[in-house]
Amino acid sequence: MPVGRINRIVGGFYYISTEDGRTITAVPRGKLRRSDGIVVGDVVDYELTAPDQGVIEGVHPRRNLLKRPVVANITQVAVVFAHKNPDFNYLLIDRLLVMLAALHLPALLLFNKTDLVDEKTASENAQPYRRIGYTTLCTSTKSGQGREELLAALQKETTTLAGPSGVGKSALINMIVPGVKQPTGAVSAKIGRGRHTTREVRLLALPEGEGFLVDTPGFSQLDLDFISPAELAGCFPEFGAAEQECRFQGCFHDQEPDCGVKAAVAAGKIYPWRYENYLTFLAEVRSWEEQKRQRPRRTRDKGVGHDRRY
């Protein structure tokens, strides 16, 4: 039985990217007709009923499932920020990187709108994350800078984009997948951020090589309520070696004496602002933990937060 990938769902019809590069329209059979039975990104078995039509017979087990937006089998997230217009801040970048680490989703960090700053500024913005170990690229949809490097990083991956509105996510999709003609929105001078312009979830095949780019109406900024205080330090990769020098096992790196992480900060081996962001998040996850203790236990979906779209 042939296998394909759901690339779009419209009005009860499911569009499948086939292994030979075609797109067919299909409907699900039987119990698969439930509204939550099949989502964009699912790998499915299907049977052809006509050259360009078919019936979906089954859904393969999912690697993962994001709830907002609803998309399955993501292998990495491209975290997009602009060098300028809107200005970025390290706290917001670190929040997204921490959440992705907790969800075991690899992050590709993109600094877009490189044409708006000089080369020195672009390097200074991106260099800290490169030193930490994140794959970090500088891009410009105006000049095409970084297109080839980005396309290489997307190969054999299913990548969705996350980042504040107005940073150029739709323009990046247009640069990578020519002809898709995504609408783009200007940044408001009054509020310093843009408007979301994407309205539905689509899986776009890369025009060169293998891989998919997920076009979504927004990647929700998740609260840190699904991360425990004990898990948080593990979301900062540069803490790993320093933690081995902590006097106490299970050190939280805030009030404990003889802390290897604090010593690494003092020695310049860990960026002070990264450590300060860690302390900010530690206070937040402790607050969430306290709230959970004080209210009745309820079922929670890991990875689902308030609908603040990013």
Strands (E), the chain: 3-10, 13-18, 23-28, 43-50, 53-59, 65-67, 70-72, 76-82, 107-112, 135-138, 158-162, 202-205, 212-215
Residue 251, annotated as binding a ligand: yes
Distances (CA, A) of 283 to 97, 112, 225, 252: 17, 31, 11, 11
Q: Is 113 annotated as a binding residue?
A: yes
Q: Which two tokens stand for residue 47?
A: 């049977």
Instruction: Work out the angle between the directed axes of helices 169-176 and 147-154 (0-180°, nearest 10).
Output: 80
Q: Say which residue the tokens 């070696």 belong to.
A: 241
| 112 in a known ligand binding site | yes
* 259 annotated among ligand-binding-site residues: yes
Closest among 108, 77, 135, 92 to 277, alpha carbons compared: 92
Tell me the C-alpha distance between 308 and 310, whole Å. 7
175-180, long-range: CB < 8 A, 24+ apart: 175/139, 175/141, 175/144, 175/147, 176/147, 176/150, 176/151, 176/206, 176/207, 176/213, 177/204, 177/205, 177/206, 177/207, 177/213, 178/207, 180/204, 180/215
Hey, what are 19's tokens? Answer: 């292994």
Q: Minimal CA–CA distance to 112: which of 151, 77, 152, 78?
A: 78
Is 235 one of the annotated binding-site residues?
A: no
Q: What are phi and psi of 42, to 5 degrees?
A: -65, 145
Contact yes or no for 214/183 (Cβ under 8 A): no
Q: How far apart, in whole angstroms, are the C-alpha atoms of residue 168 and residue 100?
A: 20
**Is 7 annotated as a binding-site member?**
no
Binding region for GTP? 112-115
Annotated binding site: 112-115, 246, 251, 253, 259
Binding site members for Zn(2+): 246, 251, 253, 259
